């Protein structure tokens, strides 16, 4: 996941990719204090792991949004088909599936991301 830190010199938010899912895990790999360079002003600052934080990924929100839109479009397509063919029972079933599946996927993706961010942000390393 991506974790973030703010440069004290220029206030730029920097991103760091790591496979650690908690601060404790991150500290085990890199130590309680890490030297990180700012991508904007290239100043290196020592960060305590507790000052690093996770954020919800925009990519996952975008992806979830796309699935949601496509799913809704498919749902509407079936709705139109249902209206034109008058197959109500089957149509309602298809529309329901077509509309509920993307909402369901959307929720799962968002929930997982929130949980990951929360897990990282709520675990602190003992100083
Ligand atoms: Zn900076």
Label the pairing between strands 13-17 and 33-37: unpaired
For residue 12, the CA-to-ligand 1 centroid distance in Å is: 5
Give the whole-angstrom CA distance, residue 104 versus residue 58: 19
Looking at residue 75, its pLDDT comes to 78
For residue 13, the CA-to-ligand 1 centroid distance in Å is: 8
For residue 5, the CA-to-ligand 1 centroid distance in Å is: 10
Query: What pLDDT digit, counting tens, does each position of 81-125 carry?
Result: 777 776 667 667 767 776 787 788 888 888 888 999 999 999 898
Give the whole-angstrom CA distance, residue 21 versus residue 36: 18
Q: What is the DSSP string of 28-73?
A: HHH-SEEEEE-TTT--EEEEEGGG-EE---HHHHHHHHHHHHHHHH
- pTM to 2 decimals? 0.67
For residue 36, the CA-to-ligand 1 centroid distance in Å is: 10
Query: What pLDDT digit, counting tens, does each position of 3-55 carry?
Result: 999 999 999 999 999 999 999 999 999 999 999 999 999 999 999 999 999 98
Give the whole-angstrom CA distance, residue 46 versus residue 34: 5
Q: How many CA atoms lie within 13 A of 66 on its CB side?
A: 5
For residue 76, the CA-to-ligand 1 centroid distance in Å is: 48
Looking at residue 101, its pLDDT comes to 78
Average pLDDT over residues 58-81: 81
What residues does 44 pair with on adjacent strands? 37
């Amino acid at each position: 996941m991506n974790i973030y830190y703010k440069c004290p010199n220029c206030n730029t938010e920097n991103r760091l990719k790591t496979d650690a899912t908690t601060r404790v895990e991150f500290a085990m790999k890199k130590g309680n204090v890490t030297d990180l360079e700012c991508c904007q002003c290239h100043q290196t600052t020592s960060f305590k792991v507790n000052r690093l934080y996770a954020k919800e990924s925009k990519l996952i929100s975008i992806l979830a949004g796309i699935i949601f839109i496509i799913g809704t479009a498919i749902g509407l397509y079936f709705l139109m088909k249902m209206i034109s063919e008058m197959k109500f029972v089957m149509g309602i079933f298809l529309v329901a599936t077509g509309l509920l599946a993307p909402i369901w996927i959307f929720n799962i993706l968002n929930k997982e991301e929130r949980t990951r961010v929360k897990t990282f942000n709520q675990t602190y390393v003992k100083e």
